[in-house]
């Protein structure tokens, strides 16, 4: 008789977004005249840039002719893209990463979720609290997280590293030494970044304890200040202790096209086994590569025109972030993030819970955001707004909040 994977049953329901949807639907049904503005979305809204569209058209035409047709992509990705990434994202920043160490994929979510497979089930993970839920949930599915306590909303075998205003949303070293450390900077949901000196301390910590850092840099393109590392490989010794995830989703609007990559340096060994070998084996067995057309589109992001056009898109979102930050600050809110990240993380006023503030904004301003408590217990009394919306709607939302 078939049996289900009992570990899946330990996952708490995806309460956050279904609950947001339910409350918004109920409100709209009771107030059909309301014009809701959604500032909670984590998806981009600007169209793909012309350089990407041109590359897509060209590659599509190639697929229609026998001479230029492409079937299965190479397991690790096309060399034209891997070489471009190695040069532009790493070599140009002084990081020693070769094309061979880059694994092209269909996005960072799958890679962040799947990477745990190459580690022992006994490994203990550490995550920030609040956190992007994929890191914890994928470990729950793998049976690595222990039991869920619905009262404190924590898993028994996960090390949670609280991140709040007191530590500028950058975790301190936990009391118990983890085997795997998930870090994400610029951060979703808090919008925080990590200084290079602090990231170097994490790299030193991981090396001295034999831990591996799983570094999610999906929002790297939003970094605009100096001394903020774009890659963990800017830190000395990171080749021996860190895996990095990147995505074209927020960098170039590929959320619907799907493209990302993972870097595993050849020097990274656990129990003398190079992790590169294990991930290459997994890739070869379970994955058949991102489409040729999409990899060509990804390559176009690095052309001179592509770079300029993508920069303009990011500037559009970051101008939204500036508007949100400026208006909220002028209203006396404590706001964080929004400078090197498209996320604005605010402290709820008058000690309201995250959900109380959600209802308050929905009712008084018809604006929807994301309650911070949905990302972990230390997100309670915080609230996330995103800069991915349309400019007019963002301005209108802030005007409404001002006029409450």
Ligand X SMILES: Cc1ncc(COP(=O)(O)O)c(C=O)c1O
Of 216, 220, 299, 380, the one binding ligand X (CB under 6 A) is 216
Query: Least Å distance between CB 68 and ligand X?
Result: 28
Identity of the residue, 231 or 249, whose beta carbon is nearer to ligand X in the bound complex: 249
Q: Which span sits near ligand X by CB under 6 A: 45-53, 103-111, 122-130, 344-352?
A: 103-111
Nearest to 238 by CA among 262, 270, 206: 206
Query: Least Å distance between CB 249 and ligand X?
Result: 3
Identity of the residue, 108 or 158, whose beta carbon is nearer to ligand X in the bound complex: 108
Restricted to residues 315-354, the positions that interact with ligand X (CB under 6 A) are none
Of 90, 103, 132, 317, the one binding ligand X (CB under 6 A) is 132
Query: Least Å distance between CB 337 and ligand X?
Result: 13
Residue 179 as a binder of ligand X (CB under 6 A): the answer is no
Residue 201 as a binder of ligand X (CB under 6 A): the answer is no
Of 85, 184, 294, 362, the one binding ligand X (CB under 6 A) is 184
Identity of the residue, 81 or 401, whose beta carbon is nearer to ligand X in the bound complex: 81
Identity of the residue, 178 or 186, whose beta carbon is nearer to ligand X in the bound complex: 186
Per-residue contact string for residues 1-40; x = within reach of ligand X by CB under 6 A: ----------------------------------------
C-beta contacts of 356-360 below 8 A and 24+ residues apart: 357/383, 358/20, 358/23, 358/383, 359/23
Q: Which span sits near ligand X by CB under 6 A: 58-66, 106-114, 263-271, 385-393?
A: 106-114
Query: Least Å distance between CB 35 and ligand X?
Result: 26
Number of residues forming the site for ligand X (CB under 6 A)? 14
Tokens of 330: 């002028």
Identity of the residue, 180 or 365, whose beta carbon is nearer to ligand X in the bound complex: 180
Query: Least Å distance between CB 108 and ligand X?
Result: 4
Residue 42 as a binder of ligand X (CB under 6 A): the answer is yes
Residue 127 as a binder of ligand X (CB under 6 A): the answer is no
Identity of the residue, 366 or 369, whose beta carbon is nearer to ligand X in the bound complex: 369
Three-state SS string over the chain comes to: CCCCCHHHHHCCCCHHHHHHHHHHHHHHHHCCCCCCEECCCCCCCCCCCHHHHHHHHHHHHHHCCCCCCCCCCCCCCCHHHHHHHHHHHHHHHCCCCCHHHEEEECCHHHHHHHHHHHCCCCCCEEEEECCCCHHHHHHHHCCCCCCEECCCCEECCCEEEECCHHHCCCCCCCCCCCCEEEEECCCCCCCCCCCHHHHHHHHHHHHHHCCEEEEECCCHHHCCCCCCCCCHHHCCCHHHCEEEEEECHHHHCCCCCCCEEEECCCCCEECCEEHHHHHHHHHHHHCCCCCHHHHHHHHHCCCHHHHHHHHHHHHHHHHHHHHHHHHHHHCCCCEEECCCCCEEEEECHHHCCHHHHHHHHHHHHCEECEEHHHHCHHHCCEEEEECCCCHHHHHHHHHHHHCC
Q: Which span sits near ligand X by CB under 6 A: 15-23, 105-113, 119-127, 388-396?
A: 105-113
- Sign of the CA dihedral 205, 206, 211, 217? positive
Per-residue contact string for residues 246-275; x = within reach of ligand X by CB under 6 A: -x-x-----x----x---------------
Query: Least Å distance between CB 215 and ligand X?
Result: 11
Residue 218 as a binder of ligand X (CB under 6 A): the answer is yes
Q: What is the contact surface with ligand X in residues (CB under 6 A)?
A: 42, 107-109, 112, 132, 184, 188, 216, 218, 247, 249, 255, 260
């Amino acid at each position: 008789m078939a049996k289900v994977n009992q570990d899946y049953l330990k996952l708490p329901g995806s309460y956050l977004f279904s609950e947001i949807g339910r409350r918004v639907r109920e409100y709209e049904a009771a107030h059909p005249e309301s014009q809701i503005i959604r500032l909670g979305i984590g998806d981009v809204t600007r169209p793909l840039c012309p350089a990407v569209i041109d590359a897509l058209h060209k590659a599509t035409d190639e697929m229609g002719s026998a001479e230029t047709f492409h079937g299965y992509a190479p397991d690790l990705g096309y060399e034209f893209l891997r070489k471009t990434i190695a040069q532009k994202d790493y070599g140009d920043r002084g990081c020693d990463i070769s094309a061979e160490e880059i694994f092209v994929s269909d996005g960072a979510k799958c890679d962040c979720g799947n990477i745990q497979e190459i580690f022992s089930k006994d490994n203990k993970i550490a995550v920030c609290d609040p956190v992007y839920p994929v890191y914890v949930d994928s470990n729950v599915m793998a049976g690595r997280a222990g039991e869920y306590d619905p009262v404190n909303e924590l898993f028994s075998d996960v090390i949670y590293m609280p991140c709040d205003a007191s530590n500028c949303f950058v975790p301190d070293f936990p009391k118990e030494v983890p085997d795997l450390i998930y870090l994400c900077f610029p951060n979703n949901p808090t919008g925080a970044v990590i200084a290079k000196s602090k990231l170097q301390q994490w790299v030193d910590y991981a090396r001295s304890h034999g831990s591996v850092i799983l570094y999610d840099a999906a929002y790297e393109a939003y970094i605009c200040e100096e001394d903020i590392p774009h890659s963990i490989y800017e830190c000395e010794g990171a080749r021996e202790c860190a895996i990095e995830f990147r995505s074209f989703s927020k960098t170039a609007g590929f959320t619907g096209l799907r493209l990302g990559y993972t870097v595993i340096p050849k020097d990274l060994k656990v129990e003398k086994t190079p992790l590169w070998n294990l991930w290459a084996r997994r890739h070869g067995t379970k994955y058949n590569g991102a489409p040729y057309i999409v990899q060509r589109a990804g390559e176009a992001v690095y052309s001179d025109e592509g770079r300029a056009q993508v920069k303009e898109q990011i500037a559009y979102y970051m101008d939204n972030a500036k508007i949100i930050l400026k208006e909220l600050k002028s209203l006396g809110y404590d706001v964080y993030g929004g400078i090197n990240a498209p996320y604005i993380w605010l402290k709820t006023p008058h000690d309201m819970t995250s959900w109380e503030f959600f209802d308050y904004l929905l009712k008084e301003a018809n604006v929807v955001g994301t309650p911070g408590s949905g990302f972990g217990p230390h997100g309670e009394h915080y609230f996330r707004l995103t800069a991915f919306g349309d400019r007019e709607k963002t301005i209108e939302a802030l005007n409404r909040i001002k006029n409450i």
